[in-house]
Amino acid sequence: MWKAEVRQSWRMIGLEEFCAQIGVAFSFAFEGALENCNSQLDPYLHYRWVVLENSRIPFGVLHLVPPLASPNPMLWEEWFVDEGRLHHHVLRNHPHDRATDIWSGELSDTDHPREVLGLQWHHFNDEDPRPVKYR
128 vs 69, residue with greater confidence: 128
pLDDT in tens, 14-35: 999 999 999 999 999 999 999 9
| Angstrom distance (rounded) from CA 94 to CA 89 | 15
Q: What is the pTM of this model?
A: 0.96
pLDDT at 50: 98
The domain limits of the chain are 2-134
pLDDT in tens, 73-113: 999 999 999 999 999 999 999 999 999 999 999 999 999 99
| Angstrom distance (rounded) from CA 127 to CA 129 | 6
| Residue 16: exposure state from Cβ atoms within 10 A (0-12, 13-18, ≥19) | middle
pLDDT at 9: 98
pLDDT at 68: 77
| Residue 124: exposure state from Cβ atoms within 10 A (0-12, 13-18, ≥19) | middle
How wide is the angle at C-alpha 10 spanned by C-alphas 91 and 59, nearest 5°? Answer: 65
Asked whether the predicted pLDDT for residue 69 surpasses 80, the reply is no
pLDDT at 72: 87
pLDDT at 71: 72
